[in-house]
Amino acid sequence: MKDNAILYIIIPCYNEEKVLQITSTMFLEKIESLINKGKISDKSRIMFVNDGSKDRTWEIICELAKTDEHYIGISQSRNRGHQNAVLAGLMEAKDNCDITISIDCDGQDDINAMDKMVDEYLNGCEIVYGVRSSRQTDTFFKRFTAQGFYKLLNAMGAEVVYNHADYRLVSSRVLKEFENFKEVNLFLRGMFPLVGFKSTSVYYERHERIAGESHYPLRKMLALAFDGITSLSIKPIRMITGLGTAIAMLSFVGVIWSIVMAVLGKTVAGWASMVCIVTFIGGIQLICLGVIGEYIGKIYMEVKHRPRYIISERTNDDK
Ligand code: UDP
Ligand code: MG
């Protein structure tokens, strides 16, 4: 049995001054209870990743780090988004710990699921996905769009665990392999299944945000869905090829039809239908170009190979 594994809880924070005060104690209590139960080592840490917050978030993290040695923090040089913040934390932690659990700082994900996650790790799993058992606390709109999100992802060939966001236990062994996934366009929940290793799911209830507001309005959700699809699959491009073939065949039928009509001398002044067809095909072509352009844009970003995160400060810098 692997006992006393070192656990790092990775918590991305963006403008969370209202929430942090409340949830930081919850995280500390959790980690202490896990230590007391003898499941994890006392060297375990709660690592906050400040994602270029504009409020007092980083100051709060620094103050926390002074009050208890279990709190540590790193700060990104600017706001880079949730996925990059989680990645920065995971990469920072991977050499110092045996397991990581990434979780949002707003108290929405039930921290009591961590016990089960650690148990699954002790049973030999390397990745444990936190899966929401229901979406009762969500508004109808959020529930509807989120469900559509997973359906769309799967239909488009991006494999993701249904109703799993970024609450997840990952062992450092997996992280060391994950490091070789060099892509800049990150969609972590779709990438970890690609790493493989023994994995399982743990179910939990998702609560409402303790304070503050969601940073994921519909616009960002759509962007994330689109990113997820185009980063993980080329199915949309295949669909374009299919669509192109179908339209080409259709127009071939149209050509034959018009020749037959011309031979029969029944040509009509079909201005309206002409315009309809031309604009329809024009529209489809533009959409297809847009999708292909999206992939080219991604290739461009990947080729530049810019760093995915830049850590500017650490709470233990002075030590
Ligand atoms: N977050 C971040 N960078 C961002 C936006 C969000 O690090 O640019 C963090 C945020 O502090 C929170 C988590 O990502 O811990 C999830 O964000 P949020 O709760 O706003 O999203 P929701 O739960 O509504 O999907
Ligand atoms: Mg949230």
pLDDT, mean over the chain: 86
Same domain, 181 and 293: no
Other beta carbons within 10 angstroms of residue 119's beta carbon come to 13
Integer Cα distance of 317 and 180 in angstroms:
27
Between strands 71-76 and 311-314, the pairing is antiparallel
Q: Which atom of ligand 1 is closest in space to residue 214's alpha carbon?
A: 20
Same domain, 182 and 81: yes
Integer Cα distance of 203 and 167 in angstroms:
11
Tell me, yes or no, whether 225 lies in a domain: no
Other beta carbons within 10 angstroms of residue 239's beta carbon come to 14
Angle between helix axes 17-36 and 57-67 (nearest 10 degrees) is: 30
Find the CATH number of the domain harbouring 205: 3.90.550.10
Tell me, yes or no, whether 279 lies in a domain: yes
Same domain, 113 and 181: yes
Residue identified by tokens 């149209």 is 254
Tell me, in angstroms, the distance from the centre of ligand 1 to residue 248's CA. Answer: 45
Total domains present in the chain: 2
Distance of CA 185 to the CA centre of its chain: 10
The whole domain housing 239 covers: 235-303
Binding pocket residue ranges, ligand 1, CB within 6 Å? 12-14, 16, 51, 79, 81-82, 85, 104-106, 108, 214-216
Give the number of the ligand closest to the Cα of residue 23. 1
pLDDT at 249: 81
pLDDT in tens, 158-190: 788 888 889 999 999 999 999 998 888 888 988
Q: For residue 68, give every residue at least 6 positions away whose Cβ sits within 8 Å of its Cβ, in sequence order, or none.
A: 28
Integer Cα distance of 233 and 260 in angstroms:
43
pLDDT in tens, 232-278: 787 888 888 888 888 878 878 877 888 888 788 777 677 767 777 88
Sign, CA dihedral 92-166-189-291, equals negative
pLDDT at 285: 84
